[in-house]
């Protein structure tokens, strides 16, 4: 198996992009990644595109062909990858495997979602297809409701507070203020979060990630060829993926995502690192409780201490382990198919030292954590500087 490097990244603005089409977003992210990598489109051998639900959001399936066509890359193999909100992370993993295996050399891993062309209720319904239709959605469960169950149990078992959850939102909105691509560049306070409209107790509006349009791309190459294209290759040192039951009632715990724990264990082992070796991390904060659970499941603190770790400022830029320097899903936005790729873009920019005012100084190793649904799928990547 060959070592794999990321040689180029590209990202669109995230938000309610009324005047930009699905195809335009993908072309914009791809063009920026190609320019960043310093390659010609003719050098690309294959493409993997993460997308959750274009059929419901824009009534268009078979997007792998559309993307290859409008990028001028026909007849290369182009494959859509779907794993709910983990679709982008899974597309990156498939691209890594393809390069590592020697099947292809230069591969684009992209992610995209156009979510705001439908009403909020329709978008919520489309997202709910990633939950168990028979045992959860049929009886009225939504993702805010499912994560509220996790939050309540976490509060009961470990004393986690709504204030600690609110601090996740405050931090991530602050970080997003320094991200030109972020959907929300507005500071908020703990009080703002606590007084925001209730969604399903204890989840409030400002505990939730938004509905977002956006696209992201990374370009991968074999490590031995990477320096032909860039002076700052970022190595994909480890990758891990795991699954769990799709419905919460089938799990042994509501305060942990087993898929995250297992995916992280695999990625750490392949990369030859431990949680203490990681300098910064992008986690799947679809709801504020999700970030608290993630930093526990990834091994950055003991189970039940994620809220305290957040309250003590250990996850801010300059803290012990900066979390979601991009603004995370909460501040940057959450175009579900693109999120996992956008996380990789942020870590690459951080490891290159190109993150501007949100830069985490001296970062050498970063991690991305992308979750599908309420934890039925998780994918983790460990990235490190190539020098």
Three-state DSSP class for 299?
Answer: coil
Burial class (CB in 10 A: 0-12, 13-18, 19+), 140: exposed
Helices (H) and strands (E) in the chain, counts: 14, 11
Could you tell me which residues are beta bridge partners of residue 384?
235, 365
Q: How far apart are CA 36 and CA 245, in angstroms?
A: 39
Q: Which member of 284, 334, 369, 381 is catalytic?
A: 334
Catalytic status, residue 85: yes
The residue written with tokens 């419905």 in the block is: 247
* Number of C-beta neighbours around residue 72 at 10 A: 11
* Number of C-beta neighbours around residue 191 at 10 A: 11
Burial class (CB in 10 A: 0-12, 13-18, 19+), 202: buried
Q: Is 291 left (phi over 0), alpha (psi -120 to 50) or beta?
A: alpha
Q: How far apart are CA 382 and CA 329, in angstroms?
A: 19
Q: How far apart are CA 42 and CA 278, in angstroms?
A: 36
Integer CA distances (angstroms), 230 to 9, 36, 37, 42, 46, in order: 12, 9, 7, 18, 20
Could you report how far apart the first and last alpha carbons of the chain are, in Å? 20
**In degrees to the nearest 10, what's the CA dihedral of 33, 268, 88, 148?**
-140
Q: Which member of 85, 208, 217, 301 is catalytic?
A: 85
Residues involved in catalysis: 85, 334
């Amino acid at each position: 198996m060959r070592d794999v490097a990321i040689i180029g990244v590209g990202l669109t603005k995230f938000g309610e992009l009324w005047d930009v089409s699905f195809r335009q977003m993908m072309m914009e992210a791809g063009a920026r990644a190609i320019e960043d990598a310093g390659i010609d489109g003719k050098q690309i051998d294959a493409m993997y595109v993460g997308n959750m639900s274009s059929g419901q959001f824009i009534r268009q399936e078979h997007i792998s062909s559309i993307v290859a066509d409008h990028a001028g890359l026909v007849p290369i193999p182009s494959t859509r990858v779907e794993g709910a909100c983990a679709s982008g992370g899974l597309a990156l993993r498939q691209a890594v495997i393809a390069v590592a295996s020697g099947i292809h050399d230069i591969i684009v891993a992209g992610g995209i979602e156009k979510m705001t062309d439908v009403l909020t209720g329709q978008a919520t319904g489309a997202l709910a297809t990633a939950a168990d239709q028979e045992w959860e959605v049929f009886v009225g469960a939504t993702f805010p409701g499912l994560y509220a169950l996790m939050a309540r149990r976490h509060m009961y078992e470990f004393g986690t507070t709504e204030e600690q959850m609110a601090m996740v939102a405050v931090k991530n909105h602050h970080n997003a203020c320094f991200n030109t691509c972020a959907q929300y560049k507005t500071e908020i306070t703990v009080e703002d979060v606590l007084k925001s409209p209730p969604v399903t107790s204890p989840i409030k509006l400002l505990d939730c990630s938004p509905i977002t349009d956006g696209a992201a791309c990374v370009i991968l190459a074999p490590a031995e060829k990477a320096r032909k294209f860039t002076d700052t290759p970022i190595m994909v040192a480890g990758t891990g993926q795991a699954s769990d039951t799709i419905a919460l009632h089938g799990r042994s715990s509501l305060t942990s995502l087993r898929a995250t724990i297992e995916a992280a264990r695999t990625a750490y082992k392949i990369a030859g690192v431990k949680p203490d070796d990681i300098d910064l991390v992008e986690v799947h904060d679809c709801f504020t409780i999700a970030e608290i659970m993630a930093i526990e499941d990834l091994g950055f603190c003991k189970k039940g201490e994620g809220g305290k770790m957040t309250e003590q400022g250990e996850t801010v830029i300059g803290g012990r382990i900066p979390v979601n320097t991009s603004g995370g899903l909460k501040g940057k936005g959450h175009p579900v198919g693109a999120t996992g790729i956008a996380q990789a873009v942020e870590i690459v920019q951080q490891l290159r030292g190109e993150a501007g005012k949100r830069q985490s100084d001296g970062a050498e190793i970063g991690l991305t954590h992308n979750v599908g649904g309420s934890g039925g799928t998780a994918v983790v990547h460990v990235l490190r500087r190539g020098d």
